[in-house]
Amino acid sequence: MESTPPRRFVRFAPSKFDKERLVDIRVTDMTAADAGWWDVRLAPKLARIDGRADRHWSWSVLLPVCHLVQRAKRRFCRPLVIWARADDRRYLRVGMSILIENYPYLDAQRPGGSHFAWFLCAADAHVLREDFAMSHPPALGRVLLDDAIVLSQNAGCGGRVGLHAARAGRDALLSVYRRCGLLALPKTAELPRGVSRPNDGRFFYADERVAETLAAALDASR
Amino acid sequence: MLLDAEAPATLGAVVEAVTRLSTLSEARILELVSAGKIGELFPFKPAAGQPVTQDTVAEEDLLEACATPLTPVQREALVNASLPSASTRRRRSSAKK
């Protein structure tokens, strides 16, 4: 019996300004050079946009800290960078994420492993267009989640993922994750062992069924 | 930020800060970072004057990440590449599309 090859990351995403148009994207592992570039070249512009959850994020600090903290918890971080093709046909960093492998699944009624999307951010489309010569920045919400789902599936976690929507992202961030198709963990739900924070109603997750539905919808773009 | 094994005082402070952060949940750390308070728990800043890479790269210079779990060796390389001292290395070679 033939085994199914692992899913790949998506390589195309619709343009933010023209949904009919597909933009080439690529995913790489994040290094200090990526974090440093983002902090110097992009973060100051994003910090001026009110309501962004990542206004104070310093990736140069976050990247090693997240690795070290998860190592202390005997887990592993998988930080990724999403690049998109700019007008000159070269690739520019447009999205960043730090995922945690083998994190407790947020649905405490069904204990198991999952991937936790700890830090996710996409560059502002208008900043990319006006300051970085990218006429068609990609829509990255689904792509950022898909990276976590695909890694979870390929790691044997069934695509199960979880995340916490930062309060700094206000209600708008909750709407983004709902629109992406994630399940909202009820505020009354108990969190699994190993997730110590009280449930503030801002946790989202995908079970196996939701994950497969979301991933399958992007299979043509891999 | 200099995570230098030759600088025990710095290394000790890093270990202490990481130990403290490890007692917090990921959601709590996310909130602290988003509120601009990570400096209170991890009081280090990247060293000034680090070279910044160019804005764009050619497709052939991108090494795409693999979507499968990394080996222990690849993981180690990825952690090492997260430190500023590794910033001048070539993009890591643990991944293959």
| A10 vs B6: which has the higher pLDDT | A10
For chain B, say whether A110 makes contact (Cβ under 8 Å). Answer: no
CA distance A164 to A160: 14
Residue A57: closest CA among A95, A24, A19, A17: A95
Instruction: Inform me whether the C-beta atom of residue B80 falls under 8 Å from chain A C-beta atoms.
Output: no
Amino acid B88: pLDDT: 43
Q: Write down the pLDDT at residue A1.
A: 58
Average pLDDT, chain A: 95
How many domains does chain B fold into?
A: 2
Tokens of A26: 């690529």
Decide if pLDDT at B93 tops 50: no
Q: What one-character DSSP code corresponds to residue A107?
A: -
In percent, how much of chain A has pLDDT > 70?
Answer: 99
pTM value? 0.92
Instruction: Indicate if B1 and B40 belong to the same structural domain.
Output: yes
Among A177, A167, A222, A193, CA closest to A5? A222
Tokens matching residue A160: 């199960």
Which pLDDT belongs to residue B4? 53
- pLDDT at residue B49, rounded to an integer: 74
Query: Nearest by CB to A29, which of B42, B86, B94?
Result: B94
With contact defined as beta carbons under 8 Å apart, do A216 and A150 qualify? no
CATH architecture of A12-221: 3-Layer(aba) Sandwich (3.40)
Same-domain status, B21 and B61: no
Same domain, B23 and B44: yes
pLDDT at B50: 77
List chain A domain ranges.
Answer: 12-221
Each residue's pLDDT tens digit, A106-130: 999 999 999 999 999 999 999 999 9
User: Are both B65 and B94 inside the same structural domain?
Assistant: yes
b/e A29-46 (16+ beta carbons within 10 angstroms → b): bbbbbbbbbbbebbbebb
Residue B5 has pLDDT above 70, yes or no: no
**Closest residue in chain A to residue B26, using alpha carbons only:** A118
The reported pLDDT for the residue numbered B94 is 45
Mean pLDDT of A47-76: 93
The pLDDT tens digits of the residues spanning A142-184 come to: 999 999 999 999 999 999 999 999 999 999 999 999 999 999 9
Residue ranges making up the domain that contains B32? 1-48
pLDDT above 50 (res B89): no
* Cβ-Cβ contacts under 8 Å, A26 against chain B: 59, 62, 64
Which residues in B lie closer than 8 A to residue A60 (C-beta atoms)? 1, 46, 84
Mean pLDDT of A7-21: 97
For residues A3-30, average pLDDT: 95
- Cβ-defined contact of A119 to B52 (cutoff 8 Å): no
What is the arithmetic mean of pLDDT over B77-84? 89
Cα separation, A171 vs A175, in Å, equals 6
Q: What is the pLDDT of residue A175?
A: 96
pLDDT of residue B42: 82
Q: Are residues B19 and B41 in the same domain?
A: yes
Tell me: do B40 and B3 sit in the same domain.
yes
Residues whose CB falls within 8 Å of the CB of residue A187, separated by 6 or more in sequence, listed in order: A199, A200, A201
Give the distance from residue B11's alpha carbon to the nearest chain A alpha carbon, in angstroms: 12
Burial bucket for residue A180 (CB in 10 Å: 0-12, 13-18, 19+) = middle
Q: How far is CA A87 from CA A26, A41, A103, A142, in A?
A: 15, 18, 39, 23
Regarding whether B62 and B39 lie in a shared domain, the answer is no
**ipTM confidence:** 0.91
In this prediction, residue A82 has a pLDDT band, given cuts at 50, 70 and 90, of very high
Q: In whole angstroms, what is the distance from residue A193 CA to residue B25 CA?
A: 11
Both tokens assigned to B12:
């000790």
B1 plus B23 within the same structural domain? yes
Contact between residue A218 and residue A180 where contact means Cβ atoms under 8 Å apart: no
- A32: Cβ–Cβ under 8 A, 6 or more apart, which residues? A60, A63, A64, B81, B82, B83, B84, B85, B86, B87
Q: Nearest CA of chain A to the CA of B16: how many Å?
A: 11
Contact criterion met (CB < 8 Å) for B55 and A83: no
Residues in A 33-92 with any Cβ partner in B closer than 8 A = 33-37, 39-41, 53-58, 60-65, 67-69, 71-73, 76, 78-80, 83, 85-86, 88, 90-92
- Of A55, A98, A108, which is closest to residue A77 (Cα–Cα)? A98
Which pLDDT does position B96 carry in this prediction? Answer: 44
Mean residue pLDDT across chain B: 80
Q: Are B68 and B42 members of one domain?
A: no
Report the interhelical angle of A59-72 vs B72-80 (nearest 10°). Answer: 140
φ and ψ of A83, to 5 deg: -110, 150
Distance CA A67, CA A218 (A): 29
E strand segments, A64-112: 77-85, 91-104
- Check whether B84 has a pLDDT greater than 80: no
Q: Count Cβ–Cβ pairs < 8 Å, chain A vs chain B.
A: 175
pLDDT of residue B86: 41
CB contact under 8 A, A32 and B81: yes
**pLDDT value at position B7?**
56
pLDDT for residue A54: 95
Domain check: are B34 and B64 in the same one? no
Each residue of A207-216: pLDDT tens digit? 999 999 999 9
Confidence (pLDDT) at A3: 74
